Amino acid sequence: MSLPTIDPTDAKRLIEQGATLIDIRGADERAREHIPGSHHGPLAQMTNYAGVNAPIIFHCRSGMRTANNAARLKEAAPCEAYILSGGIDAWKQAGLPVVTDKSQPIEIFRQVMIGAGSLILAFVLLGAFAAPAFYGLAGLVGVGLVFGGVSGWCGMAKLLEVMPWNRPAVGA
């Protein structure tokens, strides 16, 4: 079961005619950048959009999450529904407006990639130039990444979520 895709230009036209644009990304992604007028309906807390009669257009960053979850999104939409082809990335490439707040931290997923990659690189270099035992630490970071991918639970992400730079600003 899948949903039809719609390009950004046609999506904008439908939105101007009353369609609802729903951003299925996480709150951390949306806080940093979103399409003006879009509604937040994170995939992790997908609800049923009963009562919505106008078309619904779902979007993520690149279109991959929406495509991979098309059946679930179709089930949640009681009306005509689409996937924004290429997500917010394609929306921006089409020259359409986005709201960007660079004061917001980058997404936790990207922070995990930066942190894990940096640790592995450091441990490999230390293994090569200081002591071979550091290769084992690089391997442990790799095991943590595999465990996170298989289980859906990432200790590094949990740790990063409580770091000061990821806390909501006072008054925000």
Which positions are annotated as active-site residues? 60
104-128 burial string, b = 16+ CB within 10 Å, else e?
bbebbeebbeeebeebbeebeebbe
Residue in this structure with the two tokens 């399409």, named with its chain if needed: 35
Long-range contacts of 67-70 (CB under 8 A, 24+ apart): 67/2, 67/5, 69/24, 69/43, 70/1, 70/2, 70/3
